[in-house]
Amino acid sequence: MSGTEIAIRARKLRKAYRLYAHAFDHLVEAIRRVPRHTERVALQSVDLELRRGEIVGILGRNGAGKSTLLKMIAGTLERTSGELEVNGRITAILELGTGFHPDYTGRENILMGGLCLGMNKAEIESKLDSIIEFSELREVIDQPFKTYSTGMQARLTFATAISVEPEILIVDEALSVGDARFQMKCFGWIQRLKQKNATILLVSHDTNTITTFCDRALILEGGRVFAEGEAKPITVVYHNLLFGKMKATGSGDVQSLPRESDAGGGRISEAEHSSPTPDTTVPKTMRYGSGEAELLDWGLFDERGKRSNLIESGSRCRFSMRLRCDRDIPSLSCGFAVKDRKGTVVWGVTNLTSQGVAWQARAGEVLTIACDCTMWLAAGDFFVTLGAAHLHDGTKIDFIEDAVQFRVVGAEGIFATSLVNLESDLVIVPEHANESGHSVNGAVREC
């Protein structure tokens, strides 16, 4: 790959902080040339390569090294060792309101922030109206920044940062505090930025955001790259890392791989399938948990009560699983989630969200967990993740990602790209129709 196609490249990137027990140890160390410090390694041997036009997501727990990596790429933190190459004008939104003075007005902070981004005063003033318009803060733009809510601060920060139309954009959870409509607006702008061949590095704890917007993703754990690859499977690994039994080794490899299960349903013979699996090449799915209980079987059933992987849009269906409890579980949470092909959760339910209470399970019990619903999804392929967990801390007991794959068919008269089927009935009413909906000169035409 040529250098012109690379936006960011890191090789063996390392960042370590020196910690001194006493204030004068640094001076003593310099004079005597005898080490008097300990090291805390924040980032260790990180290799990274981002191509132009890519959106790459970074996942990781607090303290994993995400912010350290982003600050080094942005140029606000020096690396201890390793190589780092950044090609292009870069804008980083690392912390909410970074560089903005709390006592200055929003307008004054736009001017100051623009100067920090490398624009001259004339350029900032020419973009001032568009920045204010994008932030949707015109009514309060001349009030002090400290009087803004966190969501309003996020709006102004993002609107100012993107005004330079960067070739590389780094966003570190800055949009998580914004309202849903503004987040959608920002991500729409990010998609347009990508179409201009810009590179975006996006840090988020929201796996839906990663699977929806990112081409690739990586996980940082303990200052190392724990895993990387396509966005959807990486979010599954991250979920497993948080709640399963997966561990990180010193080399960044995956240890204690979870059990595997077929994607069509648990322990069911071929004769019990009423329709073929839509995609016979579906890979094995991930299963993990503490083992205090075990899922015996699971599946999706159509309105006739038959196990099926083909569901008619608008029809009734049932998600079901059986769980054998090997120990007492005082606070059990069981549920189902449906994801689309990108891994975005489009629906989910647990006994807590449905009934408002946890279940007290006894050792030796076998529980049937079933959810009856109407399949309002539009045509497409979907996956069911299911399992059981402890309510108090979310620790997974037995969890199966993408346990069932199914296809929804039969949604007609709507966009092919629709996600849901609202069973709509569109009509056209002439303006001179009376209040009853009937035209004076003719019948209402349905579409």
pLDDT tier at 437, thresholds 50, 70, 90:
low
Residue pair 274/308 in contact by the 8 Å Cβ criterion: yes
Interval 11-67: pLDDT, tens: 999 999 888 888 887 887 788 888 887 888 999 999 999 999 999 999 998 889 998
Question: Which pLDDT score is estimated for 280?
Answer: 28
Give the type of residue at 301: F
Interval 175-206: pLDDT, tens: 665 667 777 788 888 888 888 899 999 998 88
Say if residue 164's pLDDT is above 90. Answer: no
Question: Looking at residues 313-330, what average pLDDT do you find?
Answer: 95
Say if residue 111's pLDDT is above 80. Answer: yes
**Looking at 176-185, 197-206, 321-330, 388-397, which range is the least confident one?**
176-185
Say if residue 327's pLDDT is above 60. Answer: yes
What residues contact residue 32 under an 8 Å CB cut-off, 6+ apart?
none
Which backbone phi and psi does 44 adopt, to 5 degrees? -135, 115
Q: 258-409, which class in CATH?
A: mainly beta
CA atoms within 13 A on the CB side of 185: 14
Opening angle at CA 355, ends 322 and 374, nearest 5:
70
Say if residue 414's pLDDT is above 90. Answer: no
Residue with tokens 């932030």: 135
Measured between alpha carbons, how far is 70 from 84 in angstroms, rounded to an integer?
12
Which of 410, 348, 403, 414 is CA-nearest to residue 380? 410
Interval 241-297: pLDDT, tens: 887 654 443 333 333 333 344 444 554 333 333 333 333 233 456 888 999 999 999
Say if residue 173's pLDDT is above 70. Answer: yes
H or E element that contains 350: strand 345-350
Say if residue 80's pLDDT is above 90. Answer: yes
Instruction: Between 368 and 236, name the one with better pLDDT.
Output: 368
Residue pair 112/145 in contact by the 8 Å Cβ criterion: no
Q: Domain coordinates of the chain in residue numbers?
A: 258-409
Question: Which pLDDT score is estimated for 162?
Answer: 84
CB atoms closer than 10 angstroms to residue 75: 11
Measured between alpha carbons, how far is 106 from 146 in angstroms, rounded to an integer?
9
Question: Which pLDDT score is estimated for 248?
Answer: 42
Say if residue 396's pLDDT is above 70. Answer: yes
